[in-house]
Chains A and B, each alone.
Chain A
Amino acid sequence: DGGITQSPKYLFRKEGQNVTLSCEQNLNHDAMYWYRQDPGQGLRLIYYSQIVNDFQKGDIAEGYSVSREKKESFPLTVTSAQKNPTAFYLCASSSGTGVNTGELFFGEGSRLTVL
């Protein structure tokens, strides 16, 4: 089945540690995204990538980093510089070819808790 796989589903981290969230897609999509979700605040864009080896900051990129070395993969690192990292993180992709309607396909999410 085609889709987006995020791992781990749940992650606990001590303050001061970096953590990396994995996102893999087998939809052959060009564009990939990372969103952060906090209760009552909807979705906030962290980073996005339209093609391999290129990515742009979203609205809340501070304290996060990404890479896009392969079309299928877009990992997110939450660094120790992120002041309030406890949140639900969502990875998404979109086709990016032809007319891009903006329809996103989401993974199941990763919940990060900082202890």
Chain B
Amino acid sequence: AQSVTQLDSQVPVFEEAPVELRCNYSSSVSVYLFWYVQYPNQGLQLLLKYLSGSTLVKGINGFEAEFNKSQTSFHLRKPSVHISDTAEYFCAVNPSGGSYIPTFGRGTSLIVHP
């Protein structure tokens, strides 16, 4: 079985500052990794995903994440945030054997202050 831990439930940051949202996972097999974003009263949309290859993954809206297998982490970063980045962010993991049920973290609320 897999598990996902998002270490921070809330991350406040000022506009134009860098931000890192942390995600750690546990799994006995290889995994695929995902970050989703959810704006208020909307569904989730994919920010980026790691399936294989380069461990540095670039996504939409200037976000990137780095897969670290030895530390079982997949932290999300952005060098300069905007007010519009205020949202809930979810990390998810799925075993590479093709499970139909990904495991989600509990989410991190990113709050960008002017």
A residues bordering B, Cβ < 8 Å?
4, 6, 31, 40-43, 45, 48, 50, 58, 88, 90, 92, 94, 96, 99-109, 111
The contact size tier of chain B is 20 to 34
A104 partner, pick from B9, B98, B102, B107, beta carbons under 8 A: B102
Find out whether the CB atom of A42 lies under 8 angstroms from the CB atom of B107: yes
Find out whether the CB atom of A107 lies under 8 angstroms from the CB atom of B106: no
Residues of B close to A101: CB separation below 8 A: 32, 49, 51, 94, 98
B residues bordering A, Cβ < 8 Å?
9, 32, 34, 36, 41-46, 49, 51, 90, 92-95, 98-102, 104-107
Closest partner residue, chain B, to A99 (CB atom): B98
Find out whether the CB atom of B100 lies under 8 angstroms from the CB atom of A94: yes
Closest partner residue, chain A, to B51 (CB atom): A101
Find out whether the CB atom of A48 lies under 8 angstroms from the CB atom of B98: no
